Amino acid sequence: MITVPVELGARGYGVTVGPGARHGLAALIGELLPGAGRAAIVTQEAVPVEVDPGVPFEVHTVPPGEGAKSLATVELLCRGFARAGLSRADVVVAVGGGVVTDLAGFAAASFHRGTAYVNVATTLLAQVDAAIGGKTGVNLPEGKNLVGAFWQPRAVVCDTDVLASLPPREWASGRGEMAKYAFLGGGTPDATLLDLDLPEQVARCAAIKARVVAADEREGDRRMVLNYGHTLAHALEASAFDGPDGGGLRHGEAVAVGLVFAALLARRLGRIGDDRVSLHRRVVDGFGLSAELPSGSSAGRLVEFMARDKKAHHNLTFVLDGPDGPETVRGVGVSDVMATLAEMGAKP
């Protein structure tokens, strides 16, 4: 097993990565939360993973898909916790992907004004990103993840054995999130992440995220680099709620498109050259992902959604590569964004 520390002082915790990691959950809860007498397991019917928290538990099932990330679902969870007699000393265990960890974490943050939770991440996307860092939340019709809380888990468990059952689209979604970490590790970016075995890939991504979170827990500045590729990705996802521009992309698939878009935009702004753009394409291609916008994407419509992004701060804000690696760039001109989207084949 590989244990990656998330150094946050009293709120710090470990990310356990490796085959069979979930089988240590009961011992982990017993060590970290000796006062817990009951657990609420939050999961989905489609998640074929059973866990033993080592204390009596009740299972709370949430619907599938991004549409489940709503305030209504959080209310249902919290009411279920109350009926089950969950106390502040007990524990919520999220077993699933990013939708489950986001929902369970936000419900735990809200219930009794803060109940401990543990993430058992069952998708690649959750293991390398969504389950780590304490960002929880739900969507509104106006945008993705607009309501939530920073609430750190007490532990994260990444059992790489459970990934064997993932369908191809789930693998693609996780690899899109993994691809961004090739550019966030410090030093000169390269494609060595592609050469590692799966547990090492997960652990490297977790370690990079842990360092960023430790430096900036609440996304004041540095942590925003974790959104590399996400501004366009979130626009593609948000536009899919009421139109075709998202093209049915999974989150990581949208991030892959967003990474190449960000590289092209950075080149247009003179921040990087052709070699760095080629590296972005090489990493995205190496993970078997497409960098193409969905057919028929509207540049104007996507820019509207980018302007609503919670990182925008009332102007167009992106994480863009540069001489010192990816960093937050505010006030990017609409004309440059539109031209970059047109370069990728978007209509006006």
Active site residues: 113, 135, 177, 209, 219, 223, 227, 230, 234, 251
Tokens of 326: 């990816």
Cβ neighbours around 244 below 10 Å, total: 14
53 burial level (CB within 10 Å; 0-12, 13-18, 19+): buried
CA end-to-end distance (rounded Å), the chain: 50
Which residue is listed with tokens 């842990």?
Answer: 210
The total number of residues written for the chain in this structure: 348
Cβ–Cβ < 8 Å for 92, 129: no
91 burial level (CB within 10 Å; 0-12, 13-18, 19+): buried
Tokens of 151: 């609430």
Cβ–Cβ < 8 Å for 173, 253: yes
Q: What is the radius of gyration, based on Cα positions, of the chain?
A: 20
In angstroms, the Cα distances linking 38 to 51, 91, 278, 317 are: 14, 7, 52, 44
Cβ–Cβ < 8 Å for 140, 147: yes
With a CB cutoff of 8 Å and minimum separation 6, the contacts of 83 are none
Q: In angstroms, how far is CA 169 from the centroid of its own chain?
A: 16
Tokens of 22: 């979930």
Cβ neighbours around 348 below 10 Å, total: 9
Q: In angstroms, how far is CA 319 from the centroid of its own chain?
A: 16
Return the HEC string of 135-149.
Answer: EEEEEECCEEEEEEE
Q: Given phi > 0 = left and psi -120 to 50 = alpha, else beta, which region is 133? A: left
